[in-house]
Chains A and B, each alone.
Chain A
Amino acid sequence: MSSNNHTPSPLVELLRRYSVLIILIGIAAIFALGSEKFLTASNLLNIALQTSIIAIVAMGMTFTILTAGIDLSVGSVMALSGALAAGLAVRQELGTYTAITLALAGGGLLGLINGLLIVKGKMPPFVATLAMLAVARGLTLVYTDGRPISGIDERFIFLGNGEVLGVPLPVIFMILAFIIAFIVLRYTRFGMYVYATGGNEEISRLAGIQTARITVGVYVISGLTAALGGILLAARLWSAQPNAAAGWELDAIAAPVLGGISLFGGVGSVTGTVMGAFILGILSNGLNLMGVQSFYQQIIKGVVLILAVMLDLFTKRRR
């Protein structure tokens, strides 16, 4: 009788379960020793603020990766949504909240198109969203005519720079997004089917799950979170930049990967994604505090990504 019931040592099991958290704490400990300013309340809030927007986008990305897909278009969708929100508010004078709502819908629509290209067009997610990356960036440049859109009002700016009880608003949005994503993935039918579809689409389909709808759904979510991120970014910068968030898709993918979400689908949690985003945020912040040049920071980030994934693979192997 074959059996794979080997019991790993408690230490390995602990490492396996909390490897992301251990890396996060380890990196934070190094910076705390290296810089006195690191462990101050104001710096920690600063880290949360710097991490918040990418964390929001990465949470949407997590849904696509859980279905064994990917969304490369998030950076461009962020830029287009930010430009739409600012443009509709400033040029069309639609009112800030109407403009923002329409911009969010626009992001959701781009996600819907991604999803339909994948499900109906049978395109690999990589290709469909790579095309969307180009198209959405082009639309942004056309819409903004290549120039920043400024002149947004205070209510808009408040979203990116305001505070409630001392907590920056983007951080509050991040916390809300986390709570919603956590509940959806943990407690709802949709969340469960996201894992099932990513685990094995054929088995899921035979169990009566409409996997096409699930797939479209995750790209809509990713479009919506990218739009929210883009709007917050525009608010933070007081203007919508045509080149905003260029290349951010890489960090939005790195965060879930650091957080232990398998690119093959079906494994991981949004908690991991947030921790992954914070690893990236803490690295930037801490390296800045220690006066490391930004060119070197890139190299260190890449190396940390490799080490974290190697540790993850090492603890999960041998079964």
Chain B
Amino acid sequence: MSETTPILRMSGISKSFPGVKALQEVHFEVARGEIHALVGENGAGKSTLMKILTGAYRPDSGQIAWHGRPVTIASPSDSQTLGISMIHQELSLLPYLTVGQNIFLGREPQGRLPGFINWQALYAQAQELLERLSLDVKPRAEARELSIAQQQMVEVAKALSLQADLIAMDEPTSSLTDVETEVLFTMMRALKAQGVAIVFISHRLEEVFEITDRVTVLRDGRHIDTRPTSDLTRDKIVELMVGRELGNIYPYHPTEQRDLVLEVSDLCDGRELKNVSFQLHGGEILGIAGLIGAGRTALAETLFGIRPATGGHIKLAGQPSKIRSPKQAIQHGLGFVPEDRKQQGLFLNMAVRENITMSGMGLVTNAGFVDNKKANGLAQKFVEKLDVRTPNLRQNIRNLSGGNQQKVIIARWLTLSPRILILDEPTRGVDVGAKAEIHALMRQLAEQGVGVLMISSELPEVLGVSDRILVMHEGRITGELSRDEATQDQIMVAATGGVENVVK
């Protein structure tokens, strides 16, 4: 094997999920002792590619060569055996086990008797690893007692203990402080010096420039380019990441803006939100852009009373409000179409009628009894108004398409005539036709004076639909752009923590 043989070569990798081509003919190479950045927008295919590498998914086609030899990776243990380990974005520590137990889970040192664990050895080895990471954590502490950042570092220790030749890190710094990030980077450089290859996935481009040797850009499931980091600039990477033409599927008619319906100042939730301030007018569609984990959903959930605010003020139509529960939010004229339709939006075993009338039960009941006539009337009215395609009102909601399910959820809110409607990723998993209808519906609501807050990870959607755009990054608003001045590049710069020159 020559010096130039890459430690990993993935070629022609394709993977489809129902309705989505997640990866198409992707080529990806990592050299020994290299820190290789993998970048792209949400949904570009980075995580899918890494899940194929670590055996969580099987590719539909394509080859993987490890140290120049073709290999099949069918399970997570296959990839571990080869010497590939992964630090997942979602924490994977067991909260009630100790730090040491978590690090060596599944690989505990054998005690004197078969089946027994040598706890002394386990904790001594854990201690040694933690010291190498300069991590001030006791190996016998339970994982739940640690801060999120400490847990993240324990994950790193776990990956190190596997003595891997390649470590894939999916957003390892997303919950670390600057100091902790530096500790991690020092560690990564030491590993690199030992010949360990690292795949580094990060949305923070400054980190990509600080730590990586090469950059591979994915977009829409395709390999776009791989270049030495030193040949690239921030703007160039953003251009490669975004790259596409903005289709003209978003006919735009501005609406006359009315009075303020919502004023938020210095809103914090003690975890994800940091001093968020903005205003929303009636008749306006305010888009909120940002990357996954930027705090957009936290913002929506805090406004809607799902999670408590720890600081800041919210005014509704000029009146200070203290919303503490979804019920109070609804009473104050808010509606919330959540991100996860199946888990948070739909009553999956119920019919279309029940799904539409559930929140407005008061409108269709007499002395607590459901009035069938009224319920059918109300449901029918909205089915027609929103053009929900269903054979009848008794159809189980499961059998509708994603777009029609989403329309049913919106219809449920409309029965309550909200003054503010928050939509979190309203067109995720919705086909193009229904997407346009939902956009038109949002515009229609704005025309009726509703303030619409739309969270979306799809830049073309944000740019096409919104009257005004806020960009969030790490729990803060890092950009506010008017419709006319906003571009994909500007949004991406703000969303990756770029210069805050765009804040008015």
A16-56 interface with B by 8 A CB criterion: none
Q: Mark B402-445, 1 if CB is under 8 A from A, else 0.
A: 00000000000000000000000000000000000000000000
Asked if B76 is at the interface of the complex by the 8 Å CB criterion, the answer is yes
Q: How far is the CA of A203 from the CA of B77 in the complex (A)?
A: 12
Task: Tell me, rounded to whole Å, the shortest Cβ–Cβ distance linking B201 to chain A.
Answer: 18
Q: Mark B129-149, 1 if CB is under 8 A from A, else 0.
A: 000000000000000111111
Q: A189-B116, A199-B97 are in contact. Are A204 and B108 (CB under 8 A)?
A: no
B115 and A190 form a contact (CB under 8 A)? yes
In the complex, chain A residues whose CB is within 8 Å of the CB of B147: 1-5
Which residue in chain A gives the minimum CB-CB distance to B80? A208
Asked if B190 is at the interface of the complex by the 8 Å CB criterion, the answer is no
Task: Tell me, rounded to whole Å, the shortest Cβ–Cβ distance linking B374 to chain A.
Answer: 39
Task: Tell me, rounded to whole Å, the shortest Cβ–Cβ distance linking B118 to chain A.
Answer: 10
Q: A2-B271, A4-B147, A196-B105 are in contact. Are A187 and B111 (CB under 8 A)?
A: yes
A192 and B76 form a contact (CB under 8 A)? no
In the complex, chain A residues whose CB is within 8 Å of the CB of B92: 200, 203, 206
Q: How far is the CA of A190 from the CA of B115 in the complex (A)?
A: 7
Asked if B106 is at the interface of the complex by the 8 Å CB criterion, the answer is yes
B60-88 interface with A by 8 A CB criterion: 76-77, 80
Q: How far is the CA of A5 from the CA of B108 in the complex (A)?
A: 28
B95 and A188 form a contact (CB under 8 A)? no
A217-261 interface with B by 8 A CB criterion: none
Which residue in chain B gives the minimum CB-CB distance to A207? B106
Asked if A209 is at the interface of the complex by the 8 Å CB criterion, the answer is yes
A195 and B96 form a contact (CB under 8 A)? yes
In the complex, chain A residues whose CB is within 8 Å of the CB of B175: 2
Interface size counted on chain B using CB atoms at 8 A: 31
Task: Tell me, rounded to whole Å, the shortest Cβ–Cβ distance linking A218 to chain B.
Answer: 15
Asked if B232 is at the interface of the complex by the 8 Å CB criterion, the answer is no
Asked if A267 is at the interface of the complex by the 8 Å CB criterion, the answer is yes
A207 and B117 form a contact (CB under 8 A)? no
A192 and B108 form a contact (CB under 8 A)? yes
Asked if B177 is at the interface of the complex by the 8 Å CB criterion, the answer is yes
Main secondary structure of the interface of B (DSSP, over half): loop
Asked if A266 is at the interface of the complex by the 8 Å CB criterion, the answer is yes
A195 and B117 form a contact (CB under 8 A)? no
From B77, B107, B148, contact of A2 by CB (8 A): B148
Asked if B270 is at the interface of the complex by the 8 Å CB criterion, the answer is yes
Task: Tell me, rounded to whole Å, the shortest Cβ–Cβ distance linking A259 to chain B.
Answer: 15
B105 and A204 form a contact (CB under 8 A)? yes
Q: How far is the CA of A2 from the CA of B150 in the complex (A)?
A: 11
Q: A2-B175, A3-B147, A196-B94 are in contact. Are A208 and B271 (CB under 8 A)?
A: no
Q: How far is the CA of A38 from the CA of B366 in the complex (A)?
A: 60
Q: How far is the CA of A188 from the CA of B144 in the complex (A)?
A: 22
In the complex, chain B residues whose CB is within 8 Å of the CB of A200: 92, 94
Q: A1-B177, A2-B148, A208-B106 are in contact. Are A266 and B96 (CB under 8 A)?
A: yes
B97 and A195 form a contact (CB under 8 A)? yes
Task: Tell me, rounded to whole Å, the shortest Cβ–Cβ distance linking A182 to chain B.
Answer: 13
Task: Tell me, rounded to whole Å, the shortest Cβ–Cβ distance linking B45 to chain A.
Answer: 21
Q: How far is the CA of A5 from the CA of B115 in the complex (A)?
A: 35
B94 and A1 form a contact (CB under 8 A)? no
Task: Tell me, rounded to whole Å, the shortest Cβ–Cβ distance linking A3 to chain B.
Answer: 4
B106 and A188 form a contact (CB under 8 A)? no
A209 and B105 form a contact (CB under 8 A)? yes
Which residue in chain B gives the minimum CB-CB distance to A4? B147
Which residue in chain A gives the minimum CB-CB distance to B142? A267
A275-319 interface with B by 8 A CB criterion: 319
B160-194 interface with A by 8 A CB criterion: 175, 177
In the complex, chain A residues whose CB is within 8 Å of the CB of B145: 5
Most-contacted residue by chain A among B56, B116, B119 (CB, 10 A): B116
A189 and B108 form a contact (CB under 8 A)? yes
Task: Tell me, rounded to whole Å, the shortest Cβ–Cβ distance linking A312 to chain B.
Answer: 15
B77 and A208 form a contact (CB under 8 A)? yes
Q: How far is the CA of A199 from the CA of B92 in the complex (A)?
A: 11
In the complex, chain B residues whose CB is within 8 Å of the CB of A189: 108, 115-117
Which residue in chain B gives the minimum CB-CB distance to A265? B96
Which residue in chain B gives the minimum CB-CB distance to A202? B92
Task: Tell me, rounded to whole Å, the shortest Cβ–Cβ distance linking B162 to chain A.
Answer: 11
A55-81 interface with B by 8 A CB criterion: none
A1 and B107 form a contact (CB under 8 A)? no
B107 and A199 form a contact (CB under 8 A)? no
Asked if B272 is at the interface of the complex by the 8 Å CB criterion, the answer is yes
A164-211 interface with B by 8 A CB criterion: 187-190, 192, 195-196, 199-200, 203-204, 206-209
B96 and A199 form a contact (CB under 8 A)? yes
From A2, A4, A187, A196, contact of B97 by CB (8 A): A196
B89-120 interface with A by 8 A CB criterion: 92-97, 101, 105-108, 111, 115-117, 119
Q: How far is the CA of A3 from the CA of B146 in the complex (A)?
A: 8
Task: Tell me, rounded to whole Å, the shortest Cβ–Cβ distance linking A62 to chain B.
Answer: 15
In the complex, chain A residues whose CB is within 8 Å of the CB of B97: 192, 195-196, 199
Which residue in chain B gives the minimum CB-CB distance to A262? B96
In the complex, chain B residues whose CB is within 8 Å of the CB of A207: 105-107
From A2, A188, A199, A203, contact of B115 by CB (8 A): A188
In the complex, chain A residues whose CB is within 8 Å of the CB of B105: 196, 203-204, 207, 209
Task: Tell me, rounded to whole Å, the shortest Cβ–Cβ distance linking A262 to chain B.
Answer: 9
Q: How far is the CA of A206 from the CA of B101 in the complex (A)?
A: 15
From B96, B148, B272, contact of A3 by CB (8 A): B148
B272 and A2 form a contact (CB under 8 A)? yes
In the complex, chain B residues whose CB is within 8 Å of the CB of A206: 56, 76, 92
In the complex, chain A residues whose CB is within 8 Å of the CB of B95: 199, 266
Q: How far is the CA of A319 from the CA of B116 in the complex (A)?
A: 33
From B93, B101, B144, contact of A192 by CB (8 A): B101
In the complex, chain B residues whose CB is within 8 Å of the CB of A208: 76-77, 80, 106-107
A187 and B117 form a contact (CB under 8 A)? yes
Q: A199-B94, A199-B95, A209-B105 are in contact. Are A1 and B149 (CB under 8 A)?
A: yes
Q: How far is the CA of A237 from the CA of B173 in the complex (A)?
A: 65
Which residue in chain A gives the minimum CB-CB distance to B269? A2
A267 and B117 form a contact (CB under 8 A)? no
Q: How far is the CA of A199 from the CA of B98 in the complex (A)?
A: 12
B94 and A209 form a contact (CB under 8 A)? no
Q: How far is the CA of A2 from the CA of B77 in the complex (A)?
A: 33
Task: Tell me, rounded to whole Å, the shortest Cβ–Cβ distance linking B389 to chain A.
Answer: 34
B94 and A187 form a contact (CB under 8 A)? no
A203 and B94 form a contact (CB under 8 A)? yes
Most-contacted residue by chain A among B97, B106, B144, B149 (CB, 10 A): B106
From A2, A203, A319, contact of B270 by CB (8 A): A2
In the complex, chain A residues whose CB is within 8 Å of the CB of B96: 195, 199, 266-267
User: What are the 4 tightest A-B residue pairs by CB atom distance, in nearest-first order?
Assistant: A207-B106, A208-B106, A199-B94, A3-B147
- A-B contact sample (6 more), CB < 8 A, given A189-B116, A196-B105, A200-B92: A2-B271, A187-B116, A187-B117, A192-B97, A199-B95, A200-B94
Residues of chain B at the chain A interface (Cβ within 8 Å): 56, 76-77, 80, 92-97, 101, 105-108, 111, 115-117, 119, 144-149, 175, 177, 270-272
Identify 22 residue pairs between A and B in the complex whose beta-carbon atoms are under 8 Å apart, listed by A's number. Answer: A1-B149, A1-B177, A3-B148, A3-B149, A4-B148, A5-B145, A187-B117, A189-B108, A192-B101, A192-B117, A195-B94, A195-B96, A196-B97, A203-B93, A204-B105, A206-B76, A207-B106, A207-B107, A208-B76, A208-B80, A208-B107, A266-B96
